[in-house]
Structures are given as C-alpha cells and as structure tokens.
Chain A
C-alpha cells in the first residue's frame, strides 16, 4: 500500500512571512551541523549569491536574535520586484536591502531583511528539521504578499495580486472542493480566522471551525467516522483587529518568532499524543517570505490572470522560498526533499488522496503541474517509523507588545476588520460564539 493510502489525517499549518534562509538557512552553517544536503547558508560570506547591494555597498546575511522587529519588511508585489532585482532576465535576489531602505529610510549596518535565526530562536523548527523532513525548494506561489499567496494555497488560482481591504473573490475554495467529495475537514483557529476574508460565512459558521483548544480532545475523542481527514490550523494573526486569550504567534513581523515556535510545539504535542499520529501527515509552511532575504531565485512559473481577477499583469515567476517542514511517521528522520513545491502542491496532494488523481483539483493547479510544480505526496516514504520524538522544552523568552496604541494602518489589518464586521452582520450570535473577541467590533 502506498504511503499516501496509509495517511488518514492531513494537517496543514500556514504561518506568516518568513523566508527559508531566514528560518532554516542556518542548518547549512558548520557550527549548526553543516547540512550541505540542504540549500541553506553555504559560504554566505563569500558566495556571490548572498551579496545584496545598496548604493554599491555589499551587505551579507548575519545572525539575528529573535525579538520584535523595528519595522514590518517590504513584501508587496512592487517591493518584491525590487528584491528580486531582475538583470538580463534573471532574478539576482540582490535587492532586499534596497527595498528595505526604500520603505523604511533606514540605512543600517545590519539590515533586518538579511538577518537569519539560529536554533535557540527557532527551536521547534530546528526540532522538526532534525527529526523529520525539510523541503528546501518550497516557493511562495507568487512574488507578492499575503492575500494572493493564501488565495493560491486555498484555491489554486490568483484572483488578487496584492493585499487590500476587501472580501477576496475566489473560485475552487478548498473547503468547497473537500465538501463536494465528502471529505471530512475542519479548521482550528487561535483567535480570529483568515477564512472570513473569502466571505464563505456558511462554511465558517457551519460547525467545521473549532478553537485550537479543542484540537487534542477532538482528535482523541472523535469516532473514526467523525474525525476529520483534513485539518487546517491557524495561528493568532498579529494583524487581527482584536486579540482575546492568545498572543500573536503567526511569525509576521514585527511579531517575534518565539511565540510561533511555541504554537508549533503545542500543535505537534497535540497530534503526537494521539494514536492517530501513526497515520498523520503534518505540514508546516509559511505563506510568503515577508521581505526576508532568500538566495534562491524564484521558479519561472507563469500564472495566468483568471477572468475574475482584480489585476491585469500576469505573474511570470513564483515568489521566494519559504520554510516548509513535513512531520509524519512516513518521512525519514533528518532528511531533505529537493523537488520544486509551492502551495498548490498541497492541492495536488488532496486531489491525489481524495480523488485518486493529482490533476483532479483544477485546471489552474494543472497548469502549475505542467510547469514543474510537484505533488507533496512525493516526500512520503513507504517505510513507517515507530518512534515519536519528543519536542524540546525550550522556554520562549522573547518580549512583545500586547497592547498597541497605534492605529490600524496596514491593508491586512483593515481587511480582517472588514471580514469580522461582515461576519457579524451575517450572523452576529453565531460569529460571537465562534470568535468571542468579535464582541469588540461594531457590526
């Protein structure tokens, strides 16, 4: 029996806004094990691929302590174009400092986009990397920011090209696809969810959305014919209009990464405490690079503009690489998968698992298959492991501001506020039952 056939539960955790080199690049450094099987920070002080230029001065990656960042980093479509610094048709990945200076007017010796984290900061990602599998060529599907890349992850097509305050037009939403095939699915959220941004309020209030606090008991307590086959897990978004009972842990700068690592530990502990772990595949990835440097050029994957799209210029490459890890009894310990993946690799996985054909999700996903985007099932091994490594007990000691006096200023904050208000208008009682923090919003 193929490994995918033996997987009964697929769990997807999507974090925010970090690049591969920033989170996992250190794995290739000699002082952290020198994993040259991983395309990380190999000779970053001399290899020209790591040289970033601002005003003819060269800046290179440097170790960065975790903590709140002074600024969010540039990662809009226009700003990513500056970061990719295409020359003679080739993305040189040399413009990250330039984009940062353009946005922040900050010219410093160690520009934050070039900072990389080390195991003491990313203890849980380090644990997963050393005990399970790293994907070192998982790219954000589009060279732009949060909304378009999340839309690609959950629909396979790009109806928007930037994050704006609006309900996102979409088609082939993964919840619809799963429901239409009789697949049991659930979404677990910390605070307010991203999914109301799709306006699919019936899905959200229809009983499939649960608090993250129910995850462990649900998995243990649900009967075999009730337990979900696919789970999406959401962190507490820093851009959420209100926080109630959770600190932001989505990794989106300026939020530090420590709380996100703790969140991943809790998810892993909940999953591995159940006998169902023996048949589980946990996928942890980031939606986009968030303005952090990565040295690998995006893939030349063209994304056509769908008819309902709110923009005109097609994308001609993927975005930058993002950190991606797979934990499962069906992946070998301490390994790396080098195939080209992006968020639509998840949709291929679901199509193969639940429709028997990786090309069964949508034509948009198939166009990416035809351009070399692989199926995530490729990472699975037929050998089932019996060990369940215990997560580290590292304490998280970073500080973050829990109460901000700043006004809402970014488009994602405005969009989540809008979605919350519309959800309240749709069904105030139901919305507050699911997201009590929405009490603080006007409907």
Chain B
C-alpha cells in the first residue's frame, strides 16, 4: 500500500468511526406472530441500505427487496424471517418469528389495582395482527395463584387458581380479554401486587380450523 493511500485511509478513519452511511433498520415485523398453517403472513420493513429478506424454512418470493415495503407470504410451519440491510461499511440484521399453531401461549402483563373497587384488573387486546383470525381457543388456564374472572365478549368465567375453563372453547383467540382478581378481605393493593408480582396472566390453548 502506498504511503499516500495509507495516509488517505487514516484520514477517513474518523468518518468510519462516526459510521456515516451505515445501514439501519427502523422497523421490521411479521404478522400475525401466531398463525395457522396456510395463513398469509404480512412482512413489513423500513430500512436504509440494500435489503434482503430471507426465511427459514424458505418460503417463495424471498430475496432482494426495496429498502421499505410490505409483502405477504404463506407459512406452513414455524418460520423465521430475517431482514439484512447492508450499506458501505456496515450490515444490520434483525429477525421476526411466526409460530404456526403452537400448543398454547401465555398472555397478560402488568396489572393495575383499584383500592376503591378492591380488584386487580388488566385488559389484553389481542389484535389480528398478533394472532390469526383462524386461531380458536381449545382451553384456558388461570396461571395466577388466586382466582380470576376472565371475560371476552359475552363469555365470562370464574377460574380457580391454577385451574382451567372450557367456557371459551372454540371462541376466536383474537379479541379483547379482560382479567380481574379480587383482593382478599383486609388485603391492601400494595400487598396484593407484591404477592402477584404486579402481574396477571392466563394461558390459552390453541386450535386451528373448526
């Protein structure tokens, strides 16, 4: 390497450090994340650089794409979509998984407590971007250490701690679920939230088709 070239490369090193012209990924998703075999999954991306989308196992029509876009793919099995963006000195990758008919999933999150209503409650909206409209409930389990009242649409069930309910069987998984757990007599919100680690969750068993 000539002395001049070496000096020139040293001169541009700060620009490399600042990563001017790096690839970047601003958004990537594959929805619904939980699907049935044969469902169409929408992959959406926004990136800077030369974009390639791959899938494992492979699906049709993957490969180089525009830097941003959206495309539907049919999935039959659990599939990992990978977005790779390359530009000048850098390469970024990210992944999105689609699970096809897993046995079950746990849903829920951090709940709020009302000392006036003496309940801990949580609303869990499962949009069709998250779960396929073809997914049906095969069972519901109360994961919590105390009874909950679980409701979705017109269906409501009281489920004992660690217990199961068939009240939602064959209902679509997609939709808005609500969970409520009552405070014990004399129990404060603070104590109840500590005992439940501030969370309410439930497990849904899945089925596809009829």
Contact = CB atoms under 8 A, between A and B. Distances in A.
A105 B27 contact: yes
A58 to B, nearest CB: 4
Interface in A11-61: 46-49, 51, 53, 55-58, 60
A34 B113 CA distance: 34
B196 interface: yes
Given A48-B196, A94-B199, A109-B99, A55 B130 contact: yes
B113 A88 contact: yes
Interface in B1-34: 10, 13, 16-17, 19, 22, 25-30, 33
A104 B82 CA distance: 12
A156 to B, nearest CB: 32
Interface in A92-112: 92, 94, 104-109
B193 interface: yes
A71 B28 CA distance: 15
B10 A57 contact: no
Contacts of B28: 105-106
Contacts of B95: 70, 106-108
Contacts of A71: 94
Contacts of B130: 55-57
Nearest to A60: B106
Contact-residue bracket for chain A = 20 to 34
A185 to B, nearest CB: 34
Contacts of A406: 89-91
B22 A409 contact: yes
Given A107-B97, A409-B19, A48 B33 contact: no
A417 B18 CA distance: 13
A60 B189 CA distance: 25
Contacts of B109: 53, 56, 58, 94
A90 interface: yes
A331 B110 CA distance: 40
A193 B97 CA distance: 40
A265 to B, nearest CB: 33
B107 A48 contact: no
A407 B110 contact: no
A58 B16 contact: no
Contacts of A92: 110, 197-199
Nearest to A442: B10
Contacts of A181: none
B143 interface: yes
B173 to A, nearest CB: 12
B125 interface: yes
B107 A58 contact: yes
Contacts of B194: 90
A101 B128 CA distance: 20
A86 to B, nearest CB: 10
Contact of B198 (A55, A90, A106, A417): A90
Contacts of B91: 406
Interface of B: 10, 13, 16-17, 19, 22, 25-30, 33, 78, 80, 89-91, 93-97, 99, 105-110, 112-113, 124-126, 130, 143-145, 189-190, 193-194, 196-199, 201
Given A48-B196, A56-B130, A414-B17, 9 more contacts: A53-B109, A56-B107, A58-B109, A70-B95, A87-B198, A105-B27, A108-B96, A407-B17, A408-B19
Interface of A: 46-49, 51, 53, 55-58, 60, 70-71, 85, 87-88, 90, 92, 94, 104-109, 405-409, 414, 417, 442
- What are the 3 A-B residue pairs with the smallest beta carbon separation, nearest first? A58-B106, A53-B109, A48-B197
15 contacts: A48-B144, A48-B197, A56-B107, A57-B33, A58-B108, A85-B110, A90-B194, A92-B199, A108-B80, A407-B19, A407-B22, A407-B89, A409-B19, A414-B17, A417-B17
